[in-house]
Amino acid sequence: MKVKHLIYTLLIITIGGFITYRIISNKGKNDDSKKFNDKKSPTTVNGLVIKTATFDNNLALSGSIEANEQVEIHSEVSGIVEGIFFNEGTNVTKGQVLLKVNDIELKAQLRQALTREDLAAENARRAKLLLQKEAISQEEADVAKADLASAQAQSQLIRAQISKTSVRAPFSGKIGLRNISPGTYITPTVLVAKLVN
């Protein structure tokens, strides 16, 4: 029985010691946390009072502006400027005639070419009739037809050159300062003006 009592006593002492240790341990932790909380300074808090206000959505920026389209106006043919049909700094429309180059010589060449074309057409008509009557060979009829085609091509070429004497605006926009005056001898390298859209 003594052994049994001894075991019970040891058990009770061990459990009591464990409980005492836990109580002392927890008390020490509470004392440390109290010391820590006591030493800690109060927290500083910043506040802001919100008020309604108008918000401007304006930005001030620096930059450069580039045109959507811009071109330097030049004449395709050389000659004396007869007329300028635009004012500096004004808006022009696409296809508007800006200037006219003298085309008297080209018109004379066109009349000459049309006369040759008429003669070649008459020769081709006669050759066709003579070929039907077998009075000429097929070769002579082909030569007359080729002469007519050549004369027509020459007339078209001169008409194209005459149309180039009128310089037109390639697109609508604002035309800048002109670098020529009526009576100026112009070549394809001479800048007439700048057109900007």
CATH architecture of the domain covering 103-164: Orthogonal Bundle (1.10)
pTM: 0.60
d(CA 2, CA 82): 144
Tokens of 152: 């027509």
For the chain, give every residue range classified as CATH 1.10.287.470: 103-164
DSSP assignment letter at 167 = E
pLDDT at 6 over 60: yes
pLDDT at 81 over 70: yes
Under the banding of pLDDT at 50, 70 and 90, the label for residue 171 is very high
**Torsion angle in degrees (nearest 10) through CA of 91, 92, 93, 99:** 180
pLDDT value at position 173?
A: 92
- CA angle, 52 as apex, 47 and 58 as ends, to 5°? 110
67-102+166-197 topology per CATH: OB fold (Dihydrolipoamide Acetyltransferase, E2P) (2.40.50)
DSSP assignment letter at 42 = P
For the chain, give every residue range classified as CATH 2.40.50.100: 67-102+166-197
